[in-house]
Structure 1
Amino acid sequence: MRQFTAVVNPTAGGATSAAALLEVARLLRAAGAGLETEYSRSLDHAREIARRAGERDRVVLAVGGDGTAGGIGGALSGTGAPLGLVPAGRGNDFARALGLPTAPAALAEVLLRGEPRPVDTIEVTSALHDRTVVLGSVYAGVDALANRHANHARLLRGTASYYSGALRAVAGWRATRYRVTVDGAEHTFSGYTTVAANSGYYGFNRRIAPSARVDDGLLDVVMIHQAPRRLFFALMNELGSGAHVRRPQVRVLRGREVRIEADRAVPYGADGEVEAVVPVTARVLPGALRVLC
């Protein structure tokens, strides 16, 4: 029977993390599995706990949102230690990309009996930020600014914080000249953002890269070019279905390594947590992580 260490982000979704784990934990223990719970003080602390648990041959459960999943998954990338997800954040986009169930009984069954599946991770490097590894995507532009606003929102939570953050970011955005290098080929354009996506989802169930797969050894590179604000808001609404990729203002490429540069200090993010500025390089690490799903 599997032995689990749950790493809980106590700030993800308020009391949601503890509540999400409570019922799943009861089902795991009832089935005879061992479970210990650790509460993280920070993302770095969560990574440390995860590494130690993996070294003891335990299945590490990331309890929280995409930032928690990305941080813990990144820490386990390349180690062979299996990861389980208990989605309890605002977006839970990587869990959605894996098709994980949300009902506690179904999720517990996956954790108890699911086979570890190799998935890709993303190595992120920049001159101003330490190397890190994440799971979902790296994005540089108006979306990173919107995510920063959402992370620092005090009065709004969930979907409302994302929409409010997006409105603030777009209202003050000015055209940015990007230079994006994909596997050595350079592409330049003026626009809103560049996303290097491993998962098809980001930003609370938005299908930024509908064709992205977490196990194909490639990143989908989505570049959104300059457009009138009214058209851009229409394009944002199409992120729910993925129809935006059919717009002439959107270009999608695929590659293993992506470098994003710009003519000013454009912010970038990774799985909702890393906050820095370009230039940044994202490189896929094929099959580097084993996830129960």
Structure 2
Amino acid sequence: MRQFTAVINPAAGGQAGAAALIPIARQLREAGAEVEVSHSRSLRHAGELALEAGEKGRTVLAVGGDGMAGRIGGALAGTEAVCGFVPAGRGNDFARALGLPREPAALARLLLAAEPRQVDAIGLTSAAHPDTVALGSVYAGVDAVANRNANTSRLLRGSASYYVGALRAVASWRPVSYRLTIDGETCERRGYTVVVANSAYYGFGRQVAPAARLDDGLLDVVIIKHAPKRLFFAVMNELKDGSHIRRPEVEVLTGREIRIEAPERARPLPYGADGEVDAVLPVTARVLPRALRVLA
């Protein structure tokens, strides 16, 4: 029987996390599993708690949204620890990519019985973060600005906060000249955004990279090139089902190591990873094949 350590960050949606965990923890305990709960002071501390629990042979549960999933999964990547997820955030995009059930009883059964599956992760290198790991995606451009707006919204939640955040971001957006180096080959593109995706989903369930797979040893690079702003909003709407990739303004490439730069931009351009935006370009993303053991 598995021994679980559930990590919650009270400062980042902890109440929602606790509410999501309670019915699952009850069913895990009723089945005979041991469940302890660790409250972190920050996302960094959450990663430290996860490593400590993993070193003891416990199964670590990341309770929260994509930021918590990314931080805990990133901390455990490259170790033998097993990670499970209790989605309790705004987007829950990595949990969606794993196909996790939403119903507590079904998720509890999965956490008890599923065999660990090995999935890829993304290693990141930038000036502010010389050695970090993400799980789902890295994105630079208007979507990073939109996500920052959504994360700081006090009035809106979920997809509504993302749409309003995107409206604000696009209204003031000017096209950016990106320099991309993919597995040593450099190309220039001008447009709205570049997304390096390990998962198909980002931005509250949008299928930004429909062909991306968590275990194929590759990263999908989605480029939304320069176009009239009205077309960009059409592309945003098509992200719901992934049909945007059929537009000529959208280009999809693949690679194992991708560097994103915006050398002509006077002001630094933000980039985000797993729903968190706290750094600026340039950034290098490389695939870490089969780096994380997850219950899915």
**Where on the TM-score scale, by shorter chain, does this alignment land: which range?**
over 0.9
2:187 is the counterpart of 1:187: yes
What amino acid maps onto 2:99 in structure 1? G
TM alignment of 1:26-105, pairs within 5 A: 26-105=26-105
1:7-35 C-alpha deviation (Å, 9 max, x unpaired): 01224446321111000000000000000
Instruction: Please state whether the residue corresponding to 1:52 is helix, strand or coil.
Output: helix
- Given that 1:12 and 1:89 are in contact with CA atoms closer than 8 Å, whether structure 2 keeps it comes out as no
Q: Which residue of 2 aligns with 1:277?
A: 280
Kindly indicate whether the alpha-carbon contact (under 8 Å) linking 2:61 and 2:86 is maintained by their aligned counterparts in 1.
yes
For the aligned residue pairs, the C-alpha RMSD in angstroms reads 0.9
Structure 1 position 266, deviation (Å): 1.3
Structure 1 residue 287 corresponds to structure 2 residue 290: yes
Query: What residue in structure 1 maps to residue 122 of structure 2?
Result: 122
Q: Match for 1:210: what amino acid?
A: P
Contact 2:53 2:60 in 1 (8 A): yes
Is the 1:12–1:90 Cα contact (8 Å) retained in structure 2?
A: no
Inter-partner Cα distance in structure 1 for 2:69 and 2:40: 13
What's the CA shift string for 1:25-73, capped at 9, x where partnerless?
0000000000000111100000000000000000000000000000000
Q: Which moved more, 1:147-156 or 1:276-285?
A: 147-156
C-alpha deviation, 1:235, in angstroms: 0.6
Identity score, percent: 69
User: C-alpha displacement at 1:185, in angstroms?
Assistant: 1.1
> How big is each residue's C-alpha offset from its partner over 1:224-266, in whole Å with a ceiling of 9 and x where there is no partner?
1000000110011000000000000000001100000012221
Give distance in 1, aligned partners of 2:159 and 2:14.
Answer: 14
Moved over 3 A (4+): 11-14
State the partner residue of 2:197: 197
Would you say the 8 A contact 2:147–2:277 is kept in 1? no
Alpha carbons 2:11, 2:41 under 8 Å: kept: no
Query: Gaps spanning 5+ residues in structure 2: where?
Result: none
The 5-angstrom pairing of residues 159-174 of structure 1 reads 159-174=159-174
Separation in 2 of the partners of 1:148 and 1:202?
A: 14
Which residue of 255, 268, 286 corresponds with 2:271? 268
Secondary structure of the structure 2 residue equivalent to 1:129? coil
The residue matched to 1:149 in structure 2 has which SS? helix
TM-score in terms of structure 1 length: 0.98
CA distance in 1, matches of 2:128, 2:67: 20
Cα distance between partner residues in 2 of 1:217 and 1:93: 19
| CA distance in 2: counterparts of 1:11 and 1:86, whole angstroms | 17
Q: Distance in 2 between matches of 1:249 and 1:14?
A: 40
Instruction: Describe the SS at the equivalent of 1:130.
Output: coil
Residue identity matched to 1:281: T
Normalised to the residue count of structure 2, the TM-score between the two structures is 0.97
**Cα offset, 1:271, TM superposition:** 0.4
- The CA distance in 2 between the partners of 1:161 and 1:268, in whole Å, is 18
Question: What do the CA deviations read for 1:193-218 (whole angstroms, capped 9, x no partner)?
Answer: 10000000000000000000000000
Residues of 2 paired with 1:82 and 1:133: CA distance? 16
Deviation digits for residues 264-290 of structure 1 (CA, Å, limit 9, x no counterpart): 221100001241111100000000000
In structure 2, distance between residues paired with 1:12 and 1:243: 33
Q: Does 2:213 align with 1:227?
A: no
Deviation at 1:131, TM superposition (A): 1.7
Alignment partner, residue 16 of structure 1: 16
Rounded Cα–Cα distance in structure 2 between residues aligned with 1:10 and 1:130: 27
User: Counterparts of 2:130 and 2:9 in 1: how far apart (Å)?
Assistant: 22
* Contact 1:28–1:108 (Cα < 8 Å) also in 2: yes
Name the aligned partner's letter for residue 17 of structure 1.
G
Aligned-partner SS, 2:146: helix
Partner Cα distance (1:274, 1:68) in 2: 13
- Looking at structure 2, the residues matched to 27 and 191 of structure 1 have their Cα atoms a distance apart, in angstroms, of 49
Distance 1:120 1:193 in 2: 23
Distance 2:167 2:136 in 1: 23
